[in-house]
Amino acid sequence: MRLLSIASGSSGNCIYVGDDTTHILIDAGISGKRIEAGLNSIGVSGKDLDAVFVTHEHIDHISGIGVLSRKYDVPIYATNGTIAGISTTRSVGDIDDQLYQVIHKNENITVGGLLIKAVPISHDAAEPVCYTITNGKSHAAIATDMGCYSEEIVENLKGMDAILLEANHDVNMLQVGPYPYYLKQRILGNKGHLSNETAGKLLCELLHDDLKYVLLGHLSKENNLPQLAHEAVRLEITMGETPYQANDFDITVASRSEPTKLLEF
């Protein structure tokens, strides 16, 4: 399988996952043009898309979905709550009702040669989920936008070859930063976003010998720095109760605005 983060951050998210025959996106929260350019950079076209799976209705995950669905008739898979949220977001424009495919939490969906599972997450949206994707041989997970993680999340995210994991903010930068108090509380809360440190702790529970790639994503523009996220997560591994060192794994930070290196596994 292949995984490309076309954009990952609090101002837009779009992740490509696919193999030779099946091509899907997780979220479409950037412009149609940027999605196309990202796909083209790895030899895939918008026409090739088999599905878009949406994690939740926040605008940084859906802003390009109207354009994409109107241009290519791509089916949109999402939970009922997320579909309701997309339909009432006027800026995405009209979407043909027939393109919506309702998914339920913990359900496995087959699209072409891929099996996609929606796992519920804790976030301040209607019915948010993260996704795991497998072709039977390789396994990937896209897990962002969660204020905390449960045992259910840990169990579902184990055994991956590649994982894109949220490392949203540095708690100190957030606390002394420019955001108003209510927003700081929202981000720090159980339905907000994972800090660098918490991302590192979650990752420690997911490490195994065959984990090939870790991409840290959904970084905040105001409250994080790529190097800080990288170092904080690496430190959790090295200091944590695992048999591993940070250097045992390929850990990189996904760019907020550009495609990050193509992962093949």
Least Å distance, CB 52 to Zn ion, is 15
Place of tokens 């241009």: 71
> Position of tokens 């019915």?
127
Cβ proximity to Zn ion, 60 vs 161, nearer residue: 60
C-alpha–C-alpha distance, residues 69 and 14, integer Å: 14
> Whole-number minimum distance, CB 30 to Zn ion, in Å?
12
60 binds Zn ion (CB under 5 A): yes
Radius of gyration (C-alpha) of the chain in whole angstroms: 17
What's the CA gap between 19 and 27, in Å, rounded?
18
Which residue sits closest to Zn ion, CB atoms considered?
Answer: 58
Instruction: Give whichever of 36 and 60 is closer to Zn ion, judged by the CB atom.
Output: 60
58 versus 117: smaller Cβ distance to Zn ion: 58
Q: At what angle do helices 65-72 and 32-40 cross, to 10 degrees?
A: 70
State the CB neighbour count (10 A cutoff) for residue 67. Answer: 18
Cβ-proximal residues to 40 (8 Å cutoff; 6+ apart), any chain: none
| Choices 43-51, 56-64, 69-77, 80-88 (CB under 5 A): range interacting with Zn ion | 56-64
Cα separation, 129 vs 152, in Å, equals 12
**CA–CA separation, 84 vs 136, rounded Å?**
32
Query: 35-54 mask for Zn ion (x: CB under 5 A)?
Result: --------------------
Cβ closer to Zn ion: 58 or 184? 58
Give yes or no for residue 193 binding Zn ion (CB under 5 A): no
Instruction: Tell whether residue 58 is a contact of Zn ion (CB under 5 A).
Output: yes
**Residue among 11 and 252 whose Cβ is closer to Zn ion:** 11
Q: Does 117 bind Zn ion (CB under 5 A)?
A: no
Q: Which of residues 129-148 bind Zn ion (CB under 5 A)?
A: 145
Type of residue at 213 = Y
Residue 126 or 246 having the CB closest to Zn ion: 126
The C-alpha atoms of residue 34 and residue 39 are separated, in whole angstroms, by 9
Please identify, among the stretches 60-68, 75-83, 86-94, 177-185, the one whose residues bind Zn ion according to the rule CB under 5 A: 60-68
Residues forming contacts to Zn ion in the complex (CB under 5 A) are 58, 60, 145
